[in-house]
């Protein structure tokens, strides 16, 4: 084998993997956050879940990418472990499509796919067409890479040493280990099986000596999901374990069948003159049969992973942190489903902020009514957490939005950024309100009964306005109408309460310093309403509905 052949082999593998990456990126950009809605609707039924997992994997040509997406969804709470079972099973079926396409020699059309895909990307104006073009071009690049690998390995058929090495893989243990290790290194079972098919087409390996390598490749593909689950939740690790269990059980069953029955001979007889098709058919048989075998046991498998990886009671750290967002990935790490995971995580972090802000506003008004600064430290500490979340979300969003290709999702992420800023400012006004209690205590100020009643009304209306931000059951437009009406009521109340205050001053019903303090409170109250309206307008403009959040399921 010449040096140029080695370069051709490496270049072909690079094109194959890059084609897969192009297809995944194109689908991510085309589907974006809608991927979560699709999966939500279809994974309730186990059969539909399998079909969806197979379909997604068939499009992006990578079960690893689909499984990594599922791990991310489970980690962020967007998908339950039971739903993940069906998607993972389907992904293992979908990944067999690549081998079947190679066996059918679809690669002869690869330049045509690449040409039309590039034309769609370069000459069409609509972004969505660009995304579809990227998927088609990626498929073409994938098969061009496979053809390069095939050409580069042709000289190996003349190497007695290499042919001798291939025959040793008929040992089940050795074959499984080699297949698993090789696939783990390149992190693509589609690529490693494609290479195995190329060797078979070149007469370098036969099905009996390749079958155990094939089974090992199914185990090796789990390494990508294992790496993706590092640092994730317990449930996400269980989803990875599900993927591993599926392939280990399948490998065990089929190894026994191949050793004790004429299964390999039967598969060979089906396409006797097409070695690549024999490998593709065995791969399909392996995954379809394993899925049918384990489909009735999916729930039991999920429970088994819970026993293998039981809950660990960990003390929650007091330090401030983001709970629902994955680490900020580099551009090349943006996999399919990333948009859905990030948008869901951002919203859940905003929900945390909203809950803290809502609590601070309520506590601050109550502290003024009580005339006590006892809860000021609590409010200030919570405000520090709100400030931390605002800064961290701003950093996360600025990093994420640079890599977001879907315009709708990019707009929604931008809306979340503005929402975070407005929530932080509402938090500032809550601290202002609670801070007035120091002056109330120091100067022993008091309010009239009418003023106290008005403060109670401010407290109630502020809470109602804040609760509308994430209240489900409203369209984006209807929510904005409700928030706008409440904000107008806040403006009207502010104007009326100022007039009431002037009337009390004329009659001497309030102390001078109490009147000044009350006027400051009205300003904060009005500003709170303004920021809530800003949030309502921004989320309405983006058509946002809180119903998509996983916490409701």
Q: What is the 3-state secondary structure (H, E, C) of 292-357?
A: HHHHHHHHHHHHHHHHHCCCCCCCCCCCCCCCCCCCCCCHHHCCCCHHHHHHHHHHHHHHHHHHHH
What does DSSP assign to residue 206? -
In terms of Cα–Cα distance, which of 507, 321, 407 is closest to 31?
407
Distance CA 23, CA 25 (A): 5
Give the model's pLDDT for residue 445: 85
pLDDT for position 484? 94
Write the CB contacts of 442 (distance below 8 Å, at least 6 apart in sequence): none
Q: Is the dihedral of CA 496, 497, 501, 503 positive or negative?
A: positive
Q: With pLDDT > 90 as the criterion, what percentage of the chain qualifies?
A: 32
Residue 524 and residue 433 in contact, taking contact as beta carbons nearer than 8 Å: yes
- Distance, in Å, from the CA atom of 545 to the CA atom of 76, rounded to the nearest integer, reads 18
Residues contacting residue 134 through CB under 8 Å, at least 6 positions apart: 22, 23, 25, 26, 29, 117, 121
Residues in the chain: 553
CA dihedral 144, 146, 152, 153 (to 10 degrees): -160
Q: Tokens standing for 545?
A: 């509905």
The predicted pLDDT at position 28 comes to 65
Structure tokens at 450: 């009418």
Question: H helices of 402-475, where?
Answer: 407-442, 449-469
- The pLDDT of residue 215: 92
Residue 144 has which token pair? 């061009």
Q: Which fold has domain 337-552?
A: Methane Monooxygenase Hydroxylase; Chain G, domain 1 (1.20.58)
Domain ranges of the chain: 3-306, 337-552
Backbone angles phi, psi at 313, to 5 degrees: -75, 105
**DSSP 8-state code for residue 44:** S
The pLDDT value recorded for residue 315 is 41
Vertex 353, ends 351 and 354: CA angle to 5°? Answer: 60
Beta-carbon contacts of residue 424 (< 8 Å; ≥ 6 apart): 353, 386, 387, 390
Place of tokens 């660990």: 312
pLDDT value at residue 316: 43
pLDDT at residue 291 in the model = 92
Secondary structure letter of residue 109 according to DSSP: G
pTM equals: 0.64
Please say whether the dihedral angle defined by the alpha carbons of residues 43, 48, 50 and 51, taken in this order, is positive or negative. negative
pLDDT of residue 508: 76
Dist CA 353 CA 383 (whole Å): 10
Q: What is the pLDDT of residue 129?
A: 87
Q: Which residue ranges of the chain lie beneath pLDDT 70? A: 1, 24, 27-28, 30-44, 61, 76, 105-107, 150, 153-167, 312-319, 327-337, 403-406, 509, 541-553
């Amino acid at each position: 084998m010449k040096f140029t052949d080695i370069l051709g082999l490496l270049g072909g593998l690079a094109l194959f993997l890059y084609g897969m990456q192009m297809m995944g990126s194109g689908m991510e950009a085309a589907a974006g956050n809608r991927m979560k809605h699709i999966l939500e609707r279809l994974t309730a039924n186990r059969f539909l879940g399998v079909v969806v997992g197979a379909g997604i994997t068939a499009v992006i040509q990578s079960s690893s990418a689909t499984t990594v997406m599922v791990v991310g969804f489970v980690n962020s709470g967007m998908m339950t472990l039971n739903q993940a079972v069906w998607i993972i099973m389907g992904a293992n079926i979908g990944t067999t499509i690549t081998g079947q396409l190679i066996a059918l020699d679809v690669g002869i059309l690869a330049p045509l796919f690449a040409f039309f895909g590039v034309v769609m990307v370069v000459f069409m104006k609509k972004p969505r067409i660009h995304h579809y073009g990227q998927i088609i071009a990626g498929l073409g690049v994938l098969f061009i890479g496979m053809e390069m690998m095939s050409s580069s390995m042709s000289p190996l058929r003349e190497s007695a040493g290499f042919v001798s090495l291939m025959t040793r893989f008929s040992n089940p243990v050795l074959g499984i280990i080699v297949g698993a290790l090789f696939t783990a290194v390149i992190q693509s079972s589609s690529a490693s099986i494609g290479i195995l098919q190329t060797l078979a087409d070149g007469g370098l390996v036969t099905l009996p000596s390749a079958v155990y390598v094939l089974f090992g490749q199914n185990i090796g593909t789990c390494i990508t999901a294992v790496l993706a689950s590092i640092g994730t939740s317990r449930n996400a690790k269980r989803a990875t374990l599900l993927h591993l269990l599926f392939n280990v059980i399948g490998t065990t069953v089929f190894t026994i069948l191949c050793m004790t029955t004429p299964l390999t001979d039967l598969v060979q007889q089906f396409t006797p003159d097409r070695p690549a098709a024999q490998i593709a058919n065995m791969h399909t048989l392996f995954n379809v049969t394993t899925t049918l075998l384990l489909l009735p046991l999916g729930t039991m498998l999920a429970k088994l992973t819970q026993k293998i990886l039981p809950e660990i009671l960990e003390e929650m750290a007091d330090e401030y942190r983001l709970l629902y967002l994955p680490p900020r990935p580099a551009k090349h790490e943006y996999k399919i489903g990333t948009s859905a995971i990030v948008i869901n995580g951002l919203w859940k972090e905003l929900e945390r902020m909203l809950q803290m802000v809502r609590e601070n506003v309520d506590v601050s008004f109550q502290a003024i009514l009580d005339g006590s600064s006892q809860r000021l430290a609590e409010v200030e500490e919570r405000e520090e957490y709100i400030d931390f979340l605002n800064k961290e979300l701003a950093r996360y969003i600025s990093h994420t939005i640079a890599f977001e290709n879907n315009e709708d999702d990019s707009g929604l992420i931008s809306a979340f950024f503005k929402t975070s800023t407005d929530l932080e400012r509402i938090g500032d006004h809550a601290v202002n309100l609670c801070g007035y209690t120091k002056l109330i205590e120091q100067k022993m100020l008091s309010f009239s009964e009418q003023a106290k009643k008005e403060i109670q009304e401010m407290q109630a209306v502020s809470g109602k306005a804040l609760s509308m931000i994430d209240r489900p059951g409203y369209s984006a437009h209807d929510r904005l109408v409700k928030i706008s009406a409440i904000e107008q009521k806040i403006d009207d109340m502010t104007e009326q309460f100022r007039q009431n205050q002037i009337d009390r001053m004329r009659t001497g019903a309030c102390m001078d310093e109490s009147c000044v303090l009350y006027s400051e409170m009205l300003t904060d109250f009005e500003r709170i309403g303004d920021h809530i309206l800003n949030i309502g307008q921004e989320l309405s403009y983006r058509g946002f509905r809180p119903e998509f959040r996983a916490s409701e399921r």
